Amino acid sequence: MTTAAEVSVPNPRFPGVEARHARDCPATGWNMDRCTCSPTYRGTAWSRKDRRLLKSPPFASATAAKNWAQDAKVDLRRGVRRAPAPMTVGQLAEAWLEQLDGGLVRTRSGRPYKPSTRIGYRQVIEDWIVPELGQYRLAELDHDVVQEMIERMLSGEADERQRRKSASTVRNAITALRAMWRHPSARKSQPGNPMDGLALPASSKGRDRYATPSEAAVLLAVLPRADQAISVRRPAARRADGPSDERHRRRHRRDPGRAGV
């Protein structure tokens, strides 16, 4: 699995850019001679006013990270960008769940979450999100960290009893994290979305397994209202003594050997 390996020696061609490698990659920082992974790059910019370092989401190219760093430095000098207050995922989860229970958090369609959805969100956040990601600052959380949590859940490393989690449990945890990430504090602290491009597991049972009511509520709640399922009205039952049934019985009495249609 991948985690960040911070740069040790700056690269003069890409000032303010950090090179990040996979955990099992022997390379560190800008020393690419021994690199066996596909490194990512993160731009940085120091805020003198806030005395904190701003960090970008991971980029596939060093040039993109450099451009982000340059734009951030210009915005800081102009005073149009501020370094967000340091906040951990655990602190965000606590604040978000409190707002969720108070009906202040709404779906994309603008409606409050249903009780079953709130229960499902709280369960996966308290069971998996906070224990695995709660210590990370929002600005530090990236795609690699979230992907590592997924792999730990699937392998059983995230469970005290080493029990492997199902694909549906993993997907529910990511769905809750995506909903939580719409909080303004998360968007200000992390310009990118750490949930973009995740390799999520496919259900081994395919379509044979039906989601429970609480799971379905969690999955549907994050969809825009136009994309949510439309309730289907059950068609009215045909009258047992309708005209067509009476004609069928008369034909059957005339010709008992005739097959019913």
Interval 65-78 mean pLDDT:
91
**Whether pTM exceeds 0.85:** no
Q: What is the pLDDT of residues 178-237, one digit of tens each?
A: 999 988 888 777 667 888 889 999 876 555 566 777 777 777 776 767 666 554 444 455
For residue 152, give its domain range: 89-227
Q: Give a yes or no: residue 261 inside a domain.
A: no
Please check the confidence at residue 128 and state whether its pLDDT lies above 70.
yes
* C-beta separation of 190 from 57 below 8 A: yes
Please check the confidence at residue 88 and state whether its pLDDT lies above 70.
yes
Query: Are residues 100 and 74 both part of a single domain?
Result: no
SS3 225: helix
Q: Give a yes or no: residue 9 inside a domain.
A: no
Query: Are residues 108 and 71 both part of a single domain?
Result: no
Interval 75-100 mean pLDDT:
86
pLDDT of residue 21: 87
Query: Are residues 159 and 100 both part of a single domain?
Result: yes
Query: Are residues 148 and 211 both part of a single domain?
Result: yes
How many separate domains does the chain show? 2
Q: What is the pLDDT of residues 13-63, one digit of tens each?
A: 898 899 988 878 888 888 888 899 988 898 999 988 878 888 887 888 999
Angstrom distances, CA of residue 54 to CA of 63, 94, 145:
17, 24, 18
